[in-house]
Amino acid sequence: MTWIDTHCHLDQPVLSKDIQKVIKLSKECNIEGIVVPSTCPSNIDEVIKICNRFDMCFFALGFHPFFAQNISEDDLKKLSFLLIEHDAIAVGEIGLDKFSGESQLNIQDEVFQAQLDLAEKHDLPIIVHARGMIDRATQLIRKRKIKGGIIHAFNGSFQQADQLIKLGFKLGFGGVISYERAKHIRSLAQNLPLESIVLETDSPDMKPAWVENECPNEPAQLEKISQVLCHLRGVDARELGGILKQNTIEALPKLSKLYT
Ligand SMILES: [Zn+2]
């Protein structure tokens, strides 16, 4: 069975310094696609460059809430241009983070809304980071005609999940489901409709339980993460893989390029 990592920061130096090896190991571990979102104006070029080098990599372009306070009007205009010029698969990583010390929430809110407007304008799905801010993110999404996408590293309530699923979103789960103590996230991964779930590593962060401290997380780990989900759901890899592939393409339709 093959898997798509729907969220990975391959441009982070700990991965990019040995990118050939990271990609080779991913392929050996049956990863057939990797989605790489940008996070700020200064990493867009690198993200595009990496994805253009490897057929299995696809980029989303956007500004992460951590960097919201440094985003200018010009940055947003440039983003609008680049999304079309480079045929990005989504607008992302965008969102709101209640626990980000650096970027004030009102500024995050403005930058998130500006990027939601771009997603609506260009008819693109979104990849959303919404830590502690799911209700506000949902409210802002609901006001616009957004094509769906992925709520990455989902850690909300079942009720919040339900609202987002109704708005056409898939919910991203990663290595955290491998920790026994992550009871809530494991319960979400176990009980949400399987049709609403996609997998991600969020590497180099969010290490699964078995990755040694000194090692970075990487897309190759997705295969083992998928085994954890199989176990939680009581399904085999073939069944899970088929459903997740379909979910992922529903969330990010341009990934269907992988199969043409
Ligand atoms: Zn991310």
Per-residue burial over 66-75, b if 16 or more Cβ lie within 10 Å, else e, is bbbeebeeeb
**CA-to-CA distance for 236 and 252, rounded, in angstroms?**
24
User: What's 99's domain CATH number?
Assistant: 3.20.20.140
The pLDDT value recorded for residue 215 is: 87
User: If you search the block for the tokens 């045929």, which residue do you land on?
Assistant: 87
Please give the chain's pLDDT, 260 residues, in tens: 999 999 999 999 999 999 999 999 999 999 999 999 999 999 999 999 999 999 999 999 999 999 999 999 999 999 999 999 999 999 999 999 999 876 799 999 999 999 999 999 999 999 999 999 999 999 999 999 999 999 999 999 999 999 999 999 999 999 999 999 999 999 999 999 999 999 999 999 999 999 988 889 999 999 999 999 999 999 999 999 999 999 999 999 999 999 88
User: What separation in angstroms does the CA of 228 have from each of 160, 189, 204, 232, 249?
Assistant: 24, 10, 19, 6, 22
DSSP tally for the chain: helices H, then strands E: 10, 8
Q: Which of 46, 62, 117 is nearest to 95 (CA)?
A: 62
- Say if residues 91 and 120 touch (Cβ distance below 8 Å): no
Ligand 1: centre distance to CA 7 (Å):
6
Tell me the residue range of the domain where 198 lies.
3-259
Ligand 1: centre distance to CA 92 (Å):
9
Ligand 1: centre distance to CA 13 (Å):
14
Q: Which of 126, 129, 89, 135 is nearest to 108 (CA)?
A: 129
| Count of domains for the chain | 1
At 10, list the tokens.
Answer: 């391959």
Ligand 1: centre distance to CA 153 (Å):
8
Ligand 1: centre distance to CA 161 (Å):
19
**CA-to-CA distance for 155 and 131, rounded, in angstroms?**
8
Using DSSP's 3-state secondary structure scheme, residue 184 falls into helix
Ligand 1: centre distance to CA 66 (Å):
10
The pLDDT value recorded for residue 213 is: 83
**pTM score of the predicted model:** 0.97
The pLDDT value recorded for residue 102 is: 67
